[in-house]
Amino acid sequence: MSSLLVDNIGELVTNGVGEGPLGIRRRAAVLIEAGRMAWVGPAAYAPAADRRIDAGGAAVLPGFVDSHAHLVFAGDRAAEFAARMAGERYTGGGIRTTVGATRAASDDDLRATVRRLRGEALRQGTTTMEIKSGYGLTVADEARSLRIAAETSTETTFLGAHVVPAEYADRPDDYVGLVCGPMLAAAAPHAKWIDVFCERGAFDVDHARAILACGQAAGLGVRVHANQLGPGPGVQLGVELGAASVDHCTHLSDDDVAALAGTASDDGPGTRTVATLLPGAEFSTRSPYPDARRLLDAGVTVALATDCNPGTSYTSSMPFCVALAVREMGMTPAEAVWAATAGGARALRRDDVGVLTAGARADLVVLDAPSYLHLAYRPGVPLIRQVLLNGVPQ
Ligand code: NIG
Ligand code: FE
C-alpha cells in the first residue's frame, strides 16, 4: 500500500485534540494511507513514506465542507443581480426564470455546469459539496437533476419543493401531491436528503411538514430552507422533524434560538440540528446578515456554506464565506473556519470529513499562508496552494 507524508506543516488545524477549538498542532506532519489519515503527529517523529509533500511551514486545514449548494441549473441572472444592486428587493421570483432555462437545457449542459462549479469550488478548497435539485420541478426534470448531481457528490438533496411552478400556481395542493408522490419516487433513488423552501411565497408550514414527512418516510434525511426572507415557522419545523440542518436562519426569534439550543446532543458538544448560515446570500441580495454570535452564545452548532446558486449567491468560494462571517456576522476566525469544515460535516451528519484526525478521510488543503487566520485576514486572495481529495493531490 502506497503512503504519502505531508511534512513540515507549520500549523495543522485538526478540529480534534490540540490547542484551542480548532485542535491546532504546530510543526506537524500527517501520514496518509489508502485515502485515510493514518497518523498525525510532530514533524520530528514523522514516519517514512513512499512519497512526501513538503508544506514548507504553511498551514494545513481539513478541506471545506460546503453543505448547501444548488449547482444543477442553466442560465444566469446577472441582470437580476444588477437590478438588486440598483435598489430592487429579492423576493424569490427569479427562481422560476432559472426553472425555465433548466427545463430547456440538455443533460450535457447541466452536467457541464455542475462539473464547472464543482471544479471551481475544489480549487478553492472545498472537498465535500452538497448538491440540491430544485430548478426542474417536474418529475423528469427533478429526477435527472439528481441523477446528474449524484455523478459528482454523494450528498444530494431533493428540493422539488423549491417554489410552486407556474403551471401549478393556482393549485398548490396538487403540486404538493405531485412532490410527495411520483416526484419523490423518481428522486429518492438518487437523493440522500429532502429539503423545502419554507417561506412566504414558497411553501407554508403545513405543506412543508407534509413534504418533509413523506421524504423521511422514504428514507431521506431532513434539511430546511428556513427564515431567510423574514420570520417564520421553518426553523421550529426543522427542529420538530429532527432536521440535520436548518439553513439561512437570517430572521430568528428567541423561541427559534431556544428550539435549536434544545437539540443539544448527548454525545458531545453542540446541537443535533445545525444552523447553517449562508452569508453569500445576504451579500448578493444586500440584506442584513444572520447573527451568528447569538446562535453560538446559545450553544447552537453553526455551519457556513455557500448556497451557490444563480439567483442569490453565485459564489462557490468557502474562503469568501469565512471572510464575510468574520467581518459581518460576529464570528471569530477560529469559529468561522470550524463552521466551514467541522460544522459543515455536522450539518451533513458526517464524522469522516471536516476533521484531520487518525481514521478520517484525507481531504485537506495546504494554504499559501502560515495560519488559518489569513483566510479572513486576506480576503479575496487565492490562498489555496494545494488540495488533497481522498489522499490524492488534485
Ligand atoms: O437558497 N431560497 C431559496 N433558494 C435559493 C435561491 C434560489 C434562487 O433565487 O434561484 C437560496 O437562496
Ligand atoms: Fe439555498
161-173 pLDDT, tens per residue? 999 999 999 999 9
Q: Beta 392-393 vs 3-13: how paired, if at all? A: unpaired
Torsion-angle region of 62 (φ positive above 0: left; ψ -120 to 50: alpha; else: beta): beta
Ligand 1 atom 12 nearest Cα = 312
Q: How confident is the model at residue 324 (pLDDT cuts 50, 70, 90)?
A: very high
Cβ density class 44-67: b for 16+ within 10 Å, e for less = eebeebeeebebeebbbbbbbbbb
Q: Give me the amino acid identity at 294.
A: R
Closest ligand 1 atom, CA of 159? 4
User: Is 145 in contact with 195 (CB distance < 8 Å)?
Assistant: no
Mean predicted lDDT score pLDDT of the chain: 97
Residue 1 has pLDDT above 80, yes or no: no
Residues linked to residue 3 through DSSP beta bridges, in sequence order: 33
202: phi then psi, degrees, rounded to nearest 5: -120, -100
User: Is 276 in contact with 307 (CB distance < 8 Å)?
Assistant: no
CA of 188 to the centre of ligand 1 (A): 22
Quick one: what percent of the chain has pLDDT higher than 90?
A: 97
CA of 104 to the centre of ligand 2 (A): 22
Q: Residue 266 is placed in which grid cell?
A: 448527548
Q: Is the CB of 133 under 6 A from ligand 1?
A: no
Q: Residue 302 is placed in which grid cell?
A: 453553526
- CA-closest candidate to residue 121, choices 63, 201, 77: 63
**pLDDT value, residue 312:** 96
**pLDDT value, residue 201:** 93
CA of 376 to the centre of ligand 2 (A): 23
Q: How confident is the model at residue 386 (pLDDT cuts 50, 70, 90)?
A: very high
Q: Would you tell me the crossing angle of helices 107-123 and 139-150 to the nearest 10 degrees? A: 40
CA of 323 to the centre of ligand 1 (A): 21
**pLDDT value, residue 92:** 81
Residue 265 has pLDDT above 90, yes or no: no
In tens, the pLDDT along 85-130 reads 999 998 888 999 999 999 999 999 999 999 999 999 999 999 999 9
Sequence-ordered strand ranges (E) for the chain: 3-13, 24-33, 36-42, 51-54, 59-62, 64-66, 126-129, 131-132, 156-161, 193-198, 221-226, 245-248, 274-277, 302-304, 364-367, 384-389, 392-393
Report the largest interatomic distance among the alpha carbons of the chain, rounded to a whole angstrom: 69
Distance CA 191, CA 164 (A): 20
Q: Which of 162, 245, 251 to mutate to test the pocket of ligand 1 (most atoms within 8 A of CB)?
A: 162
Q: Is the CB of 280 under 6 A from ligand 1?
A: no
Distance CA 284, CA 82 (A): 10
Q: Residue 227 is placed in which grid cell?
A: 427564515
Ligand nearest to the CA of 92: 1
In tens, the pLDDT along 193-241 reads 999 999 999 999 999 999 999 999 999 999 999 999 999 999 999 999 9
Ligand 1 atom 9 nearest Cα = 311
Q: Which of 91, 283, 312, 321 to mutate to test the pocket of ligand 1 (most atoms within 8 A of CB)?
A: 312
Distance CA 329, CA 68 (A): 18
In tens, the pLDDT along 268-288 reads 789 999 999 999 999 999 999
Q: What is the dihedral of CA 127, 289, 296, 254, to 10 degrees?
A: -130
Q: Is the CB of 344 under 6 A from ligand 1?
A: no
CA of 94 to the centre of ligand 1 (A): 9
CA of 160 to the centre of ligand 1 (A): 13
Residue 266 has pLDDT above 90, yes or no: no
316: three-class secondary structure by DSSP: coil
Q: Residue 106 is placed in which grid cell?
A: 440538455
In tens, the pLDDT along 336-350 reads 999 999 999 999 999
Question: What average pLDDT score do residues 134-156 get?
Answer: 98
Taking residue 262's Cβ as centre, other Cβ atoms within 10 Å add up to 14
In tens, the pLDDT along 34-90 reads 999 999 999 999 999 999 999 999 999 999 999 999 999 999 999 999 999 999 998
Q: Is the CB of 195 under 6 A from ligand 1?
A: no
